[in-house]
Amino acid sequence: MPEAHNLGDMMDRIRALLTVIEEGSVNRAAVRLRITQPALSRQMQALENELGGKLLEREPSGVKPTGLGHALVKSMRPLVESYDTALSELRRQARGERSELRVGYLLSAAQSMLTPALAKLRKSLPEVKLKLHDMSPREQIDGLRAGELDLALIGQEGVAAASEFHSTKLCSLHVCVAVADSDPIAARKSIALKELKGRDFIGVDEDQVPGRNRWSTALCKSAGFKPRFAVVVDGITNVLSQVVSESAVTLLPGYFARLQHPGVTFVPVSDEKARWDFIVLWQKGRASTATRALVDALRQVAATQR
Amino acid sequence: MPEAHNLGDMMDRIRALLTVIEEGSVNRAAVRLRITQPALSRQMQALENELGGKLLEREPSGVKPTGLGHALVKSMRPLVESYDTALSELRRQARGERSELRVGYLLSAAQSMLTPALAKLRKSLPEVKLKLHDMSPREQIDGLRAGELDLALIGQEGVAAASEFHSTKLCSLHVCVAVADSDPIAARKSIALKELKGRDFIGVDEDQVPGRNRWSTALCKSAGFKPRFAVVVDGITNVLSQVVSESAVTLLPGYFARLQHPGVTFVPVSDEKARWDFIVLWQKGRASTATRALVDALRQVAATQR
DNA sequence: TGCCGTTATGCCGGAAGCGCATAACCTCGG
DNA sequence: CCGAGGTTATGCGCTTCCGGCATAACGGCA
């Protein structure tokens, strides 16, 4: 019998040793494990070779653990249990039975849709453990990539990353332009994109809100001009104060019109091409029942809010 | 390629998956792991079959973890680390490098020998982590059997269990008989065992102090009579008070003569056969350097105290 | 002494797993 | 458009691993 250097499954070997020590007999343990005594005897030898020391004292009436055998029992028993539990949970998840659902969203953008959708989910799957995280689009994308989120509600910023995950579009919002109250445009009922040619635009840090500037640029290009970003700020909330202090403009999805911001007026853009998509992203691989249920609920809510 | 149902080593497979996800490529991970890409590809497939779900999304430019893949990374990475650490420690112990030493002893019996032996040990192996446990002989034997002690200092009570462990005799004590101060024997310089024939003996609970009564019985038998145990008490300390209140006697190892007990006198037994052995027991299998060092130190101390 | 329990080990055959070669796909540069 | 270079999947053949069967050796007990 050559010296074993590849050892079947070490965990199974360790489990077998636990059984042998419990029975105090290789033979009786073999019966329990439904293998023959010689196979089990060899497994024990292989384990001893792998660890470099005797685990069992062999006697005519059975076996007794050595000091090393006792130490292995002590350190490995909890480990084997944790391992089995983790594997079991992973198998459940593979079957779609994961009961935890980690959702990322930006509150101001997602609340009107997420709240009713979560109510539906709670009604249909009450045992689901929800973990809700209010975070920026960048954090959402990173969270999905790192496997820390199961699902993200995200706007146009998630479109570029959509191919990395499962995605579905929930709705397409109108776009408005934000201007200072004192701006002549503020009195308008709506405005065409081309009328913004020559105005200063406020951009946002591409790191925090990925794709926002590119989206604005693409829209203006379709209207025949390239926007000049006078200032680039590091967050959405700073955009509006800069619009006022710089007498500039910025393009925003229509849900901003619902937010009151002192000194700022939101004027709808009339161009039909000016749309802001709102999407949901979730991890590739088999989605859990909970994930699918939430995606469905979001679809239904979006359909009724059209 | 038949469907894999026995999976080599699951831990190695999981480790390989962690590498694949880290590299984002089966090919580059295979290079790192020093196996070919096809072998690694199959390992990933085998793992997916075992778990019942896809762990990796395959793309022309490499692989990306699915939601299940992410979940596996999260739950298994700490487990793999703990497992590797535990195996590593077991291998060290197998080589005799265990740095922890759990010692059981009965303080009153062992102190005069243990204290100087521990001083020697601390000098020769200062990094050893000692765990000292004052416990009854029964607890000592149980602790060894359960693998909770590495070494026990024990008297005659350990002799019957000695074959289960490594053992060595440290010394052999004289025996004395304990009597009440008012007893005529109390004025004797020494006494022969046969002179105790007809006296009431006090026994101890065999469960707490295994073998004590059998030892007394054997000694008396060698002197031609069988002792009658008038009372059996549940601990060594209660023996002496019963000696007084029952006007009885009991045989004890000579170290008791060093202890002051009100109303009790200890008279040496003159029979040469009346001996009390003091032994050290340690676990079977390869003993650690620390265990061997302590056994050696105890031997040296016993030799100087002769 | 014989029987029954124990563990270890030789021999054999089947299963597992790896390497090599190849197929298929995608991306990029000329 | 084509070729080069990257990727992953899979067929085939060979080697290694491992379990079952049979047997040897030992100890305990009636």
Q: What is the ipTM, given to two decimal places?
A: 0.77
Provide the CATH number for the domain formed by B10-94 in this structure: 1.10.10.10
For domain B100-167+280-304, which CATH number applies: 2.40.50.140, 1.10.3720.10, 3.40.30.10, 3.40.190.10?
3.40.190.10
Q: Does domain A172-276 have CATH number 3.40.190.10?
A: yes
- Residue A168's beta-bridge partner residues? A280
pLDDT along chain B (306 residues), means of 10: 54 95 94 93 93 92 93 95 94 86 88 91 90 90 88 87 86 90 90 91 85 87 89 83 90 83 89 89 88 92 82
Q: Does B64 touch chain A (CB under 8 A)?
A: yes
Q: Does A13 touch chain B (CB under 8 A)?
A: no
Say if residues B200 and B228 touch (Cβ distance below 8 Å).
yes
CA distance B74 to B17: 12
Q: Does A159 touch chain B (CB under 8 A)?
A: no
A9, A82, B17, B44 from B10: Cα distances, Å: 6, 14, 10, 11
Residues in chain A within 8 Å Cβ distance of B9: 6-10
Greater pLDDT, A181 or B7: A181
Q: Does B232 touch chain A (CB under 8 A)?
A: no
Closest nucleotide to A36, Cα to C1': D20
pLDDT average, residue stretch A91-117: 88
Task: Determine the pLDDT at residue A7.
Answer: 65
Closest nucleotide to A12, Cα to C1': D18
Find the CB nearest A68 among B7, B90, B146. B90
Residue B102: closest C-alpha in chain A: A67
Greater pLDDT, A20 or B215: A20
pLDDT in tens, A113-136: 899 999 999 999 888 889 999 988
Which nucleotides of strand D are protein-proximal, with an atom < 7 A from a CB? 6-12, 16-22, 26-28
If you write DSSP's letter for every residue of chain A in order, what string do you get? -PPP-S-S-HHHHHHHHHHHHHHT-HHHHHHHHTS-HHHHHHHHHHHHHHHTS--EEEETTEEEE-HHHHHHHHHHHHHHHHHHHHHHHHHHHHTT---EEEEEE-HHHHHHHHHHHHHHHHHH-TT-EEEEEE--HHHHHHHHHTT--SEEEE-GGGTTTGGGSEEEEEEEEEEEEEEETTSGGGG-S-B-GGGGTT-EEEEE-TTTSTTHHHHHHHHHHHTT---EEEEEESSHHHHHHHHHHTT-BEEEEGGGGGS--TTEEEEEB--TT-EEEEEEEE-SSSPPHHHHHHHHHHHHHHHHT-
Query: Does the nearest atom of strand C lie within 7 Å of A1's Cβ?
Result: yes
Query: Does the nearest atom of strand C lie within 7 Å of A37's Cβ?
Result: yes
A160, A162, A177, B14 from B62: Cα distances, Å: 19, 17, 42, 18
Q: What angle do CA A283, A284, A286 make, to 5 degrees?
A: 100
CA distance B257 to B266: 6
Query: Does the nearest atom of strand C lie within 7 Å of B46's Cβ?
Result: yes
Portions of chain B given CATH number 3.40.190.10: 100-167+280-304, 172-276
Portions of chain A given CATH number 3.40.190.10: 100-171+286-304, 172-276
Find the CB nearest A86 among B7, B57, B75. B75
Mean confidence (pLDDT) of chain A: 88
Chain B window 54-113, residues with Cβ within 7 A of nucleic strand D: 56, 58-63
CA distance A30 to A39: 8
Q: Does domain A100-171+286-304 have CATH number 2.40.128.690?
A: no
Query: Does the nearest atom of strand C lie within 7 Å of B6's Cβ?
Result: yes
Task: Determine the pLDDT at residue A3.
Answer: 32
Portions of chain A given CATH number 1.10.10.10: 10-94
Query: Does the nearest atom of strand C lie within 7 Å of A26's Cβ?
Result: yes
